[in-house]
Amino acid sequence: MRQPSAPPFNAPAARRLRAALGMGPEHVAYGLRASYGLPYVTPDLVIAWERGVAAPSSPELTALAGVLWCSPGELLGRPQTLREHRIARAVAPEDVAHAVGMDLRAYLRAEESRQWKGNERQSAALARVLDLALPDFVAVTGREARLAELLHSAVTTRWQAYVRPVRKLAPVDAEVLEGVLQELHQDYQGHMAATLSWGGGSRSASRSGQEFLDRIVENFWTAVEQRT
């Protein structure tokens, strides 16, 4: 089985937290060796982590958080995957599997494949145990690509037809969702019309419109946040 990639390590945060504690790299290395059973960790390795030259593995990151008196999440960039969200919250895979009512091996396969196949009850439990915001929940359960397709169609055709399909993927309040889809539709159509009126021609309008569509999921969540 392919080894999972290292979580997105926030090197500047590690350096800042160490400095705030008045510790040197040698103190961090000693703590990792003495308290967490990582005999190979040297001050040079700690410095490499802090410079972004190397990244700690999941066990190393958990141990580093212990030495720096912080949560693992404080040493991570913005989590992108199910595994990264779990690590950021310092939750064991066994605990997540138990909370969602799933066999551990099945849960680990979901992390490895990045394909969530849980039912609605399990999905709701996953969101609770990992404290996932709705955009993160949609992303880690593999729904973002489909959401992008629906939003693409909504802004380029009749947005009203896509309220229910979008809401099934992203359970936003119906009134809010209607307003957001209408707004995105108007923004897209208005952007295209404005580009043409400036004399850019259809090619320029097409390029500008494609740029809007490329950011459609980001634009969607921004509009939802503004309305809620």
Lowest mean pLDDT among 113-117, 128-132, 140-144, 188-192: 188-192
Q: What is the pTM (predicted TM-score) of this model? A: 0.64
Place of tokens 């997105």: 8
Angle among Cα 101, 165, 182 to the nearest 5 degrees reads 130
Write down the pLDDT at residue 77.
78
* φ and ψ of 76, to 5 deg: -115, 150
Give 89 or 17, the one with higher predicted confidence.
17
Report the mean per-residue pLDDT for the chain: 88
| 154-183 pLDDT tens trace | 999 999 999 999 999 898 999 999 999 999
| 25-35 pLDDT tens trace | 999 999 999 99
Where does the pLDDT of residue 3 fall: very low under 50, low under 70, confident under 90, or very high at 90 and above? very low
